[in-house]
Amino acid sequence: MFNARFSIKATAEKEAMDPKLISKLAKFSALSPESEHALRDALTYTRFVAPRTGPLPDTSASDDTLVILEGWAARYSLVRDGRRQITAFLLPGDHCRLSDGAQDTVAISPLTLSVIRADERKELETAHPDLAEAMVAAEHHDRVRLCGLATALGRLDAEQRIAWTLCDLWQRADAIGMIDDGHLRFPLTQPDIADHTGLTPVHVNRMMRKLREEGLAEHKGQCLTIHDYAALAAKSDYRSCRTGTSQLA
């Protein structure tokens, strides 16, 4: 599935880890200790990807589930002239195919992946109905969130789009315990944010400066701090751009 051209290493060594997928799924359905243990066992074979590596190898012919254990990635498409549209940022606990024929995936930061084979996932979900329920609910929530993103990109102005994106990433990171003392380790660059929001890096820079001057959010180095989440969400109409409810909302 992977090869050395993409700076990917594999190890079958079982190590102590805290898969964020478990934290994410637990928001949708209480998982039994047996289900958590079974999922941990399924995630012990890992692959490592160097930052800014991509596109990652195509797995569109496979029904295997790829899970991000650590690091950030982005899903993107290219238009004919080579410009990139980032359609989604992937955080630890997110799962997807690396490529579906229409989109590719790039590692934003050092990335640790695991693979749950299609037959193994079927066995897991059959043996652990609570796990199956949580997986389906999480996938539905992700689809709803992407609909909210489409609304934000289509109807909000530049500052609101960036505010919406920051709120969404902050909320998702907070749900899996990634916020540390009010700060989020944030590997995205202004060109990344620009490619996600349909703006130019220069425009992103101006809008980020405006958010900082308004006392709402600050991006410095690889650290994001949101000083007033409620005000930032209100500015971006974050909740009303989404439909449905969940414990992650």
Q: Note the pLDDT of residue 106.
A: 92
Residues 9 and 161: their CA atoms lie apart, in Å, by 37
> What average pLDDT values come out for the chain (249 residues) when binned by 10 residues?
44 56 90 94 87 77 82 94 94 79 88 88 94 92 89 95 97 93 97 97 98 97 96 90 47
Residues 157 and 172: their CA atoms lie apart, in Å, by 22
What CATH code would you report for 157-241?
1.10.10.10
Q: Note the pLDDT of residue 179.
A: 96
Residue 118: CB partners within 8 Å, gap ≥ 6?
62, 63, 64, 65
Q: Note the pLDDT of residue 244.
A: 43
Q: Note the pLDDT of residue 218.
A: 97
Q: Note the pLDDT of residue 13.
A: 47
Residues 110 and 97: their CA atoms lie apart, in Å, by 18
Domain boundaries, the chain: 4-138, 157-241
Q: Note the pLDDT of residue 241.
A: 63
Q: Note the pLDDT of residue 229.
A: 96
Superfamily (CATH) of domain 4-138 = Jelly Rolls (2.60.120.10)
Q: Note the pLDDT of residue 117.
A: 84
- Taking Cα atoms as reference points, which of 36, 19, 2 lies closest to residue 134? 36
